[in-house]
Amino acid sequence: MRLDTVKQAPAEAFLFILSFLTKHYAFDATTFMNARDMTMQTLHVKGVKVRASYVNELIEEAITISGDDGLLFKFAEAVSPNNLGILGYLMLHSRNVEEAIIKLCRYYPLIGKTLKPLFVTEKENYKLSLLIHKENEVTHLEKYSAEIHLSALLHLINKIIPQPIFPKQTTFRHTKPLHVKAYQNIFGETILFDEVENALFFDKAQLEMRTSYDNPYLLSVFEKEAEQSLGMSVHGSLKDQVLGYILIAIGELDVSLESVAHKVGIHPRTLQKKLKKEGSSFVLLLGEVRQKLVVHYLQKGLDTPTIASYLGYAEPSPFLRAFKKWYGVSPKTWLSLHVKNVG
């Protein structure tokens, strides 16, 4: 077989799986790698690839040794909106499941250009499928990639809604495995194999389910940021950009001027000067974001210490002073006056 016909995979993917298996299953990575003339040193070289068959062999050996048929699905459980950056925030603050999936498909290039999620309507069903760009063509995911990525997508959806849902139907291209129960724990009872594509199917009622963190203001800000990051739209003032980065910084629990300036790509002192020319300042913008976020958190039932932490305050007391300055009353009093709007 010619070397250039051998299917390859990014070393990063191999190392991620290897690290997970070593940490959670005490997998003997050294023996596995030595048998294939692989070293950690070469795997960490930027851009290096490994045989795709090695990834499959790694997973198969781990499943055999651990006896855990659902091992692959454990990867997906670790995925959450918060570790997907802007894309995750867009899903979190969408109005319902349908909008979250639409945002996922539109802005997926924020986290990778290899995979291509597709969302289409088929009669009474809504289908979410995944394709992959490989060797200058778009093709279907192979068995293990399909298992990992479809279960990850479903976990993402279930982490933004108040109660989990199972797809109306799930289809895979590969042959029916022996460990079907592991699949059913993730995807529900209706799973078909040897089908033409890897896909999740939902009905309209499922997609209309409201998210737990629906927030039009945050959605708008993050969407502008996503468009700018992808070069879809290069517009908006520095103030708008800073508002977006402050939101990201709050999500990362680091709302310092230095942190936000680094994200914008300019020196903190320069950022302050430019904001001043626009009639604003970092402190004013931070306060604006906090003031809008606090109402959202109160309506979701979070307590004062938690909200203070989420907004980047070291302790509750300065948060309480700021809240009284914004609304004239304490959070508890504000909530009692707006109790009808809670939920």
In this prediction, residue 234 carries a pLDDT of 40
At 40, the amino acid letter reads M
- CA dist., res. 326 & res. 286, Å (int): 13
* DSSP states along 12-42: HHHHHHHHHHHHHH---HHHHHHTTT--HHH
**Is the torsion defined by CA of 137, 85, 98, 106 positive or negative?**
negative
More confident residue, 4 or 82: 82
In this prediction, residue 309 carries a pLDDT of 82
What does pLDDT average to over the chain?
83
- Helix 282-299 to helix 238-251 angle, to the nearest 10 degrees? 50
Whether residue 261 is predicted with pLDDT greater than 60 in this model: the reply is yes
Task: With cut-offs at 50, 70 and 90, classify the pLDDT of residue 50.
Answer: confident
At 35, the amino acid letter reads A
In this prediction, residue 235 carries a pLDDT of 43
In this prediction, residue 319 carries a pLDDT of 92
In this prediction, residue 5 carries a pLDDT of 46
Any bridge partners for residue 192, and if so which?
A: 171
In this prediction, residue 263 carries a pLDDT of 72
**Percentage of the chain lying above the pLDDT 90 cut:** 31
In this prediction, residue 329 carries a pLDDT of 92
Q: Quick count: other Cβ atoms within 10 Å of Cβ 215?
A: 22
In this prediction, residue 1 carries a pLDDT of 31
What are the tens digits of pLDDT across the range 139-195?
A: 788 888 899 889 999 999 999 999 999 999 999 999 998 879 889 999 999 999 999
CA distances from 15 to 11, 39, 59, 79 (A): 6, 11, 12, 17
Whether residue 56 is predicted with pLDDT greater than 80 in this model: the reply is yes
At 280, the amino acid letter reads S
What pTM, to 2 d.p., does this model score? 0.65
Pick from 51-65, 66-80, 234-248: least confident: 234-248
What are the tens digits of pLDDT across the range 97-145?
A: 999 999 998 888 887 777 888 888 867 789 999 888 665 566 788 888 8
Second CATH level (architecture) for the domain 236-341: Orthogonal Bundle (1.10)
Domain range list for the chain: 3-68, 81-207, 236-341
More confident residue, 91 or 224: 91
In this prediction, residue 343 carries a pLDDT of 41
Among 81-90, 142-151, 182-191, 305-314, top mean pLDDT goes to 182-191
Whether residue 13 is predicted with pLDDT greater than 80 in this model: the reply is no
